[in-house]
Amino acid sequence: MLLLLLLFCLLLVAACFGCSMSRLRRPSSRRLLLAALGLLSVLAFWSSSEGAASFAGASWATRTLGRLPRAAGQAGNALPELYIYDHCPFCVRARIIFGMKNIKHNLVWMANDDVDTPTALVGKKISPILQLPGESAMFESLDIVRKIDMDPAWGPPLLKPASAREDLDAVDKRTIEAVRLLLRPRVIRAYLPEFAHKDGRTAYLRNHPIADPVGGEVPEKAAWLAMGEEKWKSWYDAHFENSPALLAELNSVLPDFEGLIHSEDSVSPGGASYDDIVFFAKMRTASLIKGLKPGPRLQAYMERMSDLSQIPLYSGMAV
């Protein structure tokens, strides 16, 4: 069949050249000649074994792009994957080291009510979870930080050891209760991926008991579960309404951090350390609180660490 088409094209070209030059000047004749020559070229290419193989190979590659199988254990161009919740300070810890070492990776935001995904990866509902190409998934935020910082595959170590600073811990402890009561009602109000659906927000309420807005006691888990969703919401709403008093309490403590921050680049002397991993993770989450008033030194540190870690603060979407 291919030979017959080639023969037909040759005869057509010959017929065109057999015409008088005056007739060949006609636009219709010229178009006929060009069409015959074009078809002849295509058929000649197709008839060659190399051309046919190239065309067939390109067609197959186009159909199967992105679905080529890898050999067992071959990572190829796969990137590390971090399974996280955006609001979670422990997840922020794991993200910091990737940003500071400028390691390309994929972030996978799990729905807050998603039990199946983390359980399939590590056997229980937890975050963050790191999945490296060709390796078993792992959890525990500081273990993930240590793995990425110390593994030569991801560059030389960057972090100094934790300095066990009691002065920083003492001030931080004075903020814990106010931060908890301010943040919990806010994370489910903010537009965060883990709370995109109602079930995710309900799961957060169910799993995070909050203090009685009148008596101040945090109920036991069983008692909290027995209260039900409407009661959970009413307590969360009460603390949200009490934001002015809670903010005044928190903002009165923040100036005490000013003299404890070594520089914009590190909270402790000697450069970036595990102190920064823990401290910035807390402050980044706290930036979701609208009306937060860090002192100039703390604010400069938060902004610089946000830049170094490539994790944006919540300041622009604070609630």
Alpha-carbon gap, residue 54 to 61, rounded angstroms:
10
The reported pLDDT for the residue numbered 77 is 64
Give ranges for CATH 3.40.30.10 in the chain: 81-154
Alpha-carbon gap, residue 133 to 72, rounded angstroms:
11
Q: What is the dihedral of CA 127, 131, 135, 136, to 10 degrees?
A: 30
Alpha-carbon gap, residue 127 to 85, rounded angstroms:
7
Contact between 254 and 295 under an 8 Å Cβ cutoff? The reply is yes
pTM of the predicted model, to two decimals?
A: 0.76
Per-residue pLDDT of the chain (319 residues; tens, 9 = 90+): 444 444 444 444 444 444 444 444 444 444 544 444 454 444 444 444 333 333 333 322 222 222 222 322 334 469 999 999 999 999 999 999 999 999 999 999 999 999 999 999 999 999 999 999 999 999 999 999 999 999 999 999 999 999 999 999 999 999 999 999 999 999 999 999 999 999 999 999 999 999 999 999 999 999 999 999 999 999 999 999 999 999 999 999 999 999 999 999 999 999 999 999 999 999 999 999 999 999 999 999 999 999 999 999 999 999 9
Residue 179 DSSP symbol: H
Q: 129 - beta bridge partners?
A: 83, 139
Closest CA to 280 of 296, 261, 293, 252: 261
CB atoms within 10 A of CB 218: 13
Check whether domain 81-154 has CATH 3.40.30.10, yes or no: yes
CATH class of the domain comprising 166-317: mainly alpha
What phi, psi does 218 have (nearest 5°)? -90, 120
| Burial of 11 per CB tally in 10 Å (0-12, 13-18, 19+) | exposed
Contact between 100 and 308 under an 8 Å Cβ cutoff? The reply is yes
Question: 236-264: per-residue pLDDT in tens?
Answer: 999 999 999 999 999 999 999 999 999 99
Contact between 229 and 202 under an 8 Å Cβ cutoff? The reply is yes
Alpha-carbon gap, residue 318 to 288, rounded angstroms:
4
The reported pLDDT for the residue numbered 53 is 36
Q: In what order do the strands lie in the sheet with 129-131?
A: 106-109, 81-84, 129-131, 138-139
Give ranges for CATH 1.20.1050.10 in the chain: 166-317
Contact between 96 and 144 under an 8 Å Cβ cutoff? The reply is no
**Residues contacting residue 302 through CB under 8 Å, at least 6 positions apart:** 280, 283, 284, 287, 294, 313
